């Protein structure tokens, strides 16, 4: 029997970003004993890096905004591949989740009349992003943590112990989910500092582990984004959807090389910044796709007037959805009209007074000054696409966040469906709060429904999990031993070059061959030293997840022979209405060492939601058969 630390909870939440913390708060408020486990420091989740804001149709800056407009924008942004029920719940509930954050202590920037201020962002028809300068994620995490502390104080008053009902296990990585038959029974992991093992028994586990960006070379994501939750779900028997859709944010830093990929927030464009090529041309006017022509200005005068008169002018094309802007930048660079370091110019210095730039974009001002010696109040930034967000994730039931495995829930970036083929900026922070809360409720209700039929963890499963966790210390095949850093670097290069922003069938096939080789080589990874804080060992464990998740992305990317949102196939450049009806579903293969991908039909859009769109717009995305019963064909 493995010697290890053991804990029992009703609900274990893996991840302490916005989604995990909101789920934990909810489950605790529903009377459950809750553990929050996170591999980074408490407070250093990815959410803390969010800059621009939270999208919610509060209508504070433009009273025409409402949940229906937000729903429409989200579906358009996702090119109608979104799970419409998730998009509906999200649009309806986001304002309440933002106001609720204020009751936790969040302090947003205000309008002149004292309401929560809302800013413009790509793809959103009205100013909709509640924000705190360009440090919104920090405020979100700070206030969720504050709520957790206040709940712990209540628990102390009642039980004498702060952590009796809600405890955080920081710097603790989960490597496996354990089951009792088909049901979740707990999670197995290790303390990063000591390397000691820890076991959490729990009938319900909520995955809130964020994204997968560290599988790509140029990314805005930090070290913990290694697709752990995606891989844990697959290995536990759950399915992933939409894995071919990876968002490349149009504006990452391109220079100096050490900071390549670091995000330049969309707020720069939302607050008036424009993109120019090496000829000084504002090139986005050349890249407005037909489906958006009626919504975006085709000349500079109208685009500039929009900032002060949104009722009578169309939006600037710099605020097209991210996939469109990223492809446009890619094309300009490829055509030889890029900036000196392989990006394009993003200029806010000629658009706003210096003091206004520093007030609205303090982090960007600081980031460029410190990292690139560029003063953005005086000169343009150089920017280019960077891997930013994965739309794909665990297939969940929208209302409860339940996966197909009993007792396993997922919310936040690790869950799939909400954003379809492309996420709009600001829609992640609201997604975390809406579905974090729903996952907390879903998990609590599931636990209540179990009565005394609680799952039990088999000792043999614990022994097997601990053996697998240290396998890399045993050394691979003599003469073929590998180092985790080399394998990781080659994985990142492969995904960047062959399954990146623009994909071609032949190249994705090459990527799949390369991934198979990397999987073989990963079996021979050897880590040296011992289990006390050993980053090589940590990376070796993370690599298993990155390889599995990369296989999902590449296999789904090869099968989807169309271009839509975050999936661009140069050999299939058009959007295909028949593909909109289909989801690609990834499951673990029978051998347990790879993934199978199959397609399944989307659930048809509910008629009343369909009625929110003009027939002419629907006709751009749906098949004639799907529109046969849609009324108001003449609209």
Catalytic residue positions? Answer: 322
For helices 505-522 and 535-559, give the axis angle rounded to 10 degrees: 150
Choosing from 180, 228, 271, 382, the residue that interacts with ligand FAD (CB under 6 A) is 228
DSSP 373: -
Q: Which stretch binds ligand FAD (CB under 6 A): 14-22, 90-98, 281-289, 550-558?
A: 14-22
Q: Which residues partner with 472 through β-bridges?
A: none
Question: In 3D, which of 413, 348, 430 has the Cα closest to residue 128?
Answer: 430
Residues 285-344 binding ligand FAD (CB under 6 A) are none
Q: How far is the CB of 428 from ligand FAD (least distance, A)?
A: 3
Q: How far is the CB of 233 from ligand FAD (least distance, A)?
A: 11
Q: Which residues partner with 7 through β-bridges?
A: 200
Residues 421-480 binding ligand FAD (CB under 6 A) are 425-429, 432
Please, how many CA atoms are within 13 Å of residue 608, restricted to the half-sphere of its CB? 3
Is position 198 an interface residue for ligand FAD (rule: CB under 6 A)?
A: no
Is position 174 an interface residue for ligand FAD (rule: CB under 6 A)?
A: yes
What are the structure tokens assigned to 36, written together? 């929050």
How far apart (Å, rounded) are the C-alpha atoms in residues 22 and 27?
9
Question: Based on CB atoms, which residue is closest to ligand FAD, 25 or 558?
Answer: 25
Task: Give first-to-last CA distance, the chain, whole Å.
Answer: 70
Q: How far is the CB of 11 from ligand FAD (least distance, A)?
A: 15
What number of chain residues touch ligand FAD (CB under 6 A)? 41
Write the CA distances from 236 to 66, 178, 283, integer angstroms: 39, 7, 47
Q: Which stretch binds ligand FAD (CB under 6 A): 43-51, 70-78, 359-367, 608-616?
A: 43-51
Place of tokens 């309440």: 96
Is position 15 an interface residue for ligand FAD (rule: CB under 6 A)?
A: yes
Question: Based on CB atoms, which residue is closest to ligand FAD, 242 or 602?
Answer: 242
* Contact between residue 192 and residue 171 where contact means Cβ atoms under 8 Å apart: yes
DSSP 117: P
Is position 550 an interface residue for ligand FAD (rule: CB under 6 A)?
A: no
Question: Based on CB atoms, which residue is closest to ligand FAD, 75 or 414?
Answer: 414
How far apart (Å, rounded) are the C-alpha atoms in residues 611 and 303?
29
- Bridge-based pairing of strands 381-390 and 204-207 is unpaired
- Bridge-based pairing of strands 183-191 and 381-390 is unpaired
Choosing from 122, 321, 412, 455, the residue that interacts with ligand FAD (CB under 6 A) is 412
Question: In 3D, which of 555, 561, 568, 570 has the Cα closest to residue 515?
Answer: 555
Collapsing DSSP states into helix, strand and coil, what is residue 275?
strand
How far apart (Å, rounded) are the C-alpha atoms in residues 20 and 187?
15
Q: How far is the CB of 635 from ligand FAD (least distance, A)?
A: 32
Question: Based on CB atoms, which residue is closest to ligand FAD, 38 or 202?
Answer: 38
Choosing from 12, 13, 19, 381, the residue that interacts with ligand FAD (CB under 6 A) is 19
Write the CA distances from 386 to 51, 253, 261, 500, integer angstroms: 16, 8, 5, 10
Question: Based on CB atoms, which residue is closest to ligand FAD, 22 or 572?
Answer: 22
Question: Based on CB atoms, which residue is closest to ligand FAD, 253 or 514?
Answer: 253
Residue with nearest beta carbon to ligand FAD? 17
Is position 59 an interface residue for ligand FAD (rule: CB under 6 A)?
A: no
Choosing from 101, 116, 206, 208, the residue that interacts with ligand FAD (CB under 6 A) is 208
Question: Based on CB atoms, which residue is closest to ligand FAD, 235 or 305?
Answer: 235
Write a three-state SS string for 572-622.
Answer: CCCCCHHHHCEEEEEEECCCCCCEEEEEEECCCCCHHHHCCCCHHHHCCCC
Choosing from 95, 186, 210, 420, the residue that interacts with ligand FAD (CB under 6 A) is 210
Choosing from 12, 13, 17, 128, the residue that interacts with ligand FAD (CB under 6 A) is 17
How far apart (Å, rounded) are the C-alpha atoms in residues 360 and 375?
15
Is position 39 an interface residue for ligand FAD (rule: CB under 6 A)?
A: yes
What are the structure tokens assigned to 562, written together? 């169309």
Question: Based on CB atoms, which residue is closest to ligand FAD, 251 or 563?
Answer: 251
Choosing from 263, 433, 462, 585, the residue that interacts with ligand FAD (CB under 6 A) is 263
Measured from the Cβ of residue 439, the count of other Cβ atoms closer than 10 Å reads 32
Is position 173 an interface residue for ligand FAD (rule: CB under 6 A)?
A: yes
Q: Which residues of this protein are in contact with ligand FAD, per CB under 6 A?
A: 14-20, 37-40, 45-47, 49-53, 136-137, 173-174, 208-210, 220-221, 224, 228, 263, 389, 412-414, 425-429, 432
């Amino acid at each position: 029997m493995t010697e290890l630390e053991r804990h029992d909870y009703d609900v274990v939440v893996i991840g302490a970003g916005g989604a995990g913390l909101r789920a934990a708060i909810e489950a605790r408020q529903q009377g459950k004993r809750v553990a929050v486990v996170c591999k980074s420091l408490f407070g250093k989740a990815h959410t803390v890096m969010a800059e621009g804001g939270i999208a919610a149709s509060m209508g504070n800056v433009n009273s025409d905004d409402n949940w229906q407009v937000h729903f429409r924008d989200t579906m358009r942004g996702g090119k109608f591949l979104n799970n419409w029920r998730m998009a509906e719940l999200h649009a309806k509930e986001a304002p309440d989740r933002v106001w609720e954050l204020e009751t936790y202590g969040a302090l947003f920037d205000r309008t002149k009349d004292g309401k929560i201020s809302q800013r413009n962002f790509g793809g959103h028809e009205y100013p909709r992003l509640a924000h705190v300068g360009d440090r919104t994620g920090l405020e979100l995490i700070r206030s969720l943590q504050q709520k957790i502390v206040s709940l712990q104080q209540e628990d102390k008053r009642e039980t004498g112990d702060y952590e009796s009902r809600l405890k955080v296990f920081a710097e603790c990585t989960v490597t496996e989910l354990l089951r009792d038959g088909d049901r979740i029974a707990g999670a197995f992991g290790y303390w990063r500092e000591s390397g000691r093992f820890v076991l959490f028994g729990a009938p319900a586990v909520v995955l809130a582990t964020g994204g997968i960006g560290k599988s790509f070379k140029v990314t805005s994501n930090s070290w913990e984004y290694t697709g752990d939750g995606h891989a844990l779900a697959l290995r536990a028997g759950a399915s992933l959807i939409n894995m071919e859709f990876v968002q490349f944010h149009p504006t990452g830093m391109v220079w100096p090389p050490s900071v390549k990929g670091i995000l330049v927030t969309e707020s720069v464009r939302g607050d008036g910044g424009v993109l120019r090529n090496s000829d000084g041309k504002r090139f986005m006017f050349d890249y407005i796709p037909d489906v958006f022509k009626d919504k975006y200005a085709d000349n500079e005068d109208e685009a500039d007037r929009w900032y002060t008169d949104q009722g009578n002018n169309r939006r600037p094309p710099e605020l097209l959805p991210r996939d469109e802007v990223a492809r446009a930048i890619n094309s300009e660079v490829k055509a030889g009209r890029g900036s000196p370091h392989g990006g394009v110019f993003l200029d806010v210095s000629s658009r706003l007074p210096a003091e206004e730039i520093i007030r609205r974009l303090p982090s960007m001002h600081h980031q460029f000054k410190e990292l690139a010696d560029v003063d953005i109040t005086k000169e343009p930034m150089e920017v280019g696409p960077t891997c930013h967000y994965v739309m794909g994730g665990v297939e969940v039931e929208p209302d409860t966040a339940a996966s197909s495995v009993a007792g396993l829930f997922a919310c936040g970036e690790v869950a799939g469906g909400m954003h379809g083929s492309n996420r709009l900026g600001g829609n992640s922070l609201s997604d975390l709060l809406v579905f974090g809360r729903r996952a907390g409720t879903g998990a609590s209700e599931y636990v209540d429904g179990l009565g005394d039929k609680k799952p039990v963890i088999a000792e043999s499963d614990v022994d097997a999990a601990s053996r697998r966790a240290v396998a890399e210390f045993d050394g691979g095949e003599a003469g073929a031993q590998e180092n985790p850093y080399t394998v990781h670097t080659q994985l990142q290069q492969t995904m960047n070059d062959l399954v990146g922003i623009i994909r071609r069938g032949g190249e994705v096939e090459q990527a799949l061959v390369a991934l198979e080789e990397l999987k073989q080589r990963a079996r021979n990874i050897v880590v040296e030293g011992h289990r006390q804080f050993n980053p090589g060992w940590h990376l070796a464990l993370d690599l298993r997840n990155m390889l599995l998740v990369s296989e999902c992305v590449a296999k789904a990317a090869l099968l989807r022979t169309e271009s839509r949102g975050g999936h661009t196939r140069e050999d299939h450049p058009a959007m295909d209405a028949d593909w909109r009806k289909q989801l690609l579903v990834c499951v673990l293969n029978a051998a347990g060492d790879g993934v199978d991908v199959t397609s399944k039909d989307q659930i048809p859009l509910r008629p009343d939601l369909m009625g929110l769109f003009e027939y002419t717009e629907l006709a751009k995305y749906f098949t004639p058969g799907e529109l046969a019963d849609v009324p108001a064909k003449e609209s």
